[in-house]
Structure 1
Amino acid sequence: MRCVIARFPFDFTASEVEALLAKVKPEPAEGPCAVIGRHTYPVKQVGEVITRQDRRDFTADEVTRALRRLGFTVRQAPAPDPLPTQAATDLFG
């Protein structure tokens, strides 16, 4: 499927994206994340791997649109749990 990321056209298939990311260790989930295979990757990491471009050259929205068109699930990463001391402070004021 043809998609444009950072003003450059790319032709991807879902299997090509899976193959490129098969040996890549997922970074900690922040912001929008794509479920590819059994792993969840930040979309900026996916974009960097599949386009071989610097992450600053494209937006997360560009990669998200491309991944959704290929059939991947993209969702927002859950908010991190508050630190235990912050939770205690919130409870006891």
Structure 2
Amino acid sequence: MRNPNVCRYVMLGLIIIGLIVAGLSAIVYGVDKMHPLFVVGVVIAFGGIIFGIVTIRCPFCHRQLHLKGIVPDSNCPYCGSKFE
């Protein structure tokens, strides 16, 4: 059973890494021409969002949990089950 709080941290990590890669690319190579490294960073960030949408669910009722915030959930707001 996957813990949705761990998936939330993985999602936030992917988004932060993607934004750092895109930002460093814009700083180093400029913004006049779009560098391929910038595109890679944006794809990583959007991949993190997609990962979060797919995986941050209650392991018992399988309903979508909120994606915002760093504070982990202790239980499901829909079925009331406690997470490990």
Please report the TM-score for the alignment, with normalisation by the length of structure 2. 0.29
What TM-score results when the alignment is normalised by the length of structure 1?
A: 0.27
Higher relative CO (CA 8 A, sep ≥ 6), structure 1 or 2?
A: 2
